[in-house]
Amino acid sequence: MKVLYLNGPNLNLLGTREPEIYGKTTLGDIEKSVRDKAGQMDVEIEFRQSNAESEIVGWIHSSKNTCSVIVINAGALTHTSLAIRDAIAACGLPAIEIHLSNTHRREPFRHFSYLSGVAAGIIAGFGKQSYLLALDAAVSVHANRK
Ligand code: DQA
């Protein structure tokens, strides 16, 4: 099985961006940990980041025939993007919404997510671990679908 990890705006700045909230781990470090764990589980990974909503929508469209599950940290687009929500619904793959921070403990504008209503589940608040937990969730969601 292949899992597509999508990362939205500003996540390329992890490591230096508000480290008191997001930690000091870079997105490259997170990708490496995900790939290491996936290798042990015999899962293939595609890992992408973009600051552009349209690019993320395009990746969701093209994942339809190549991937089994989407794991998405859409960053701020979580709270604004009906287009990403519709793309997930349209492609039909199970999606797992993830966040480094617990968005529900933060500002009220982070409490609403356009994606949650089309997600198989949500993992938030565990920092880098959110990405690794999502891999277990992806395998489980895929197994239950077959
Ligand atoms: C985030 C939470 C969002 O509210 C924020 O805009 C981000 C990161 C997280 O991983 O905690 O960019 O998705």
CATH number at residue 141: 3.40.50.9100
Q: How far is residue 22's CA from residue 126's CA, in Å, rounded to a whole number?
A: 10
27 is written with which tokens?
A: 């997105």
Q: What is the pTM of this model?
A: 0.97
35 burial (CB, 10 Å; 0-12 / 13-18 / 19+) is middle
Question: How many angstroms does the Cα of residue 130 sit away from the middle of ligand 1?
Answer: 12
Q: How far is residue 35's CA from residue 41's CA, in Å, rounded to a whole number?
A: 10
Tell me, rounded to whole angstroms, the distance of Cα 14 from its chain centroid: 14
Domain enclosing residue 120, as ranges:
2-145
Q: Can you list the positions of beta strands (E) in 8-145?
A: 44-49, 69-73, 95-99, 121-124
Are 103 and 126 a contacting pair, CB within 8 Å? no
45 lines ligand 1 (CB under 6 A): no
13 lines ligand 1 (CB under 6 A): no
Encode the chain (146 residues) as per-residue pLDDT tens digits. Answer: 999 999 999 999 999 999 999 999 999 999 999 999 999 999 999 999 999 999 999 999 999 999 999 999 999 999 999 999 999 999 999 999 999 999 999 999 999 999 999 999 999 999 999 999 999 999 999 999 87
Question: How many angstroms does the Cα of residue 75 sit away from the middle of ligand 1?
Answer: 4
Number of domains in the chain: 1
DSSP code for 48: E
75 lines ligand 1 (CB under 6 A): yes
**Number of Cβ atoms within 10 Å of the Cβ of 107:** 8
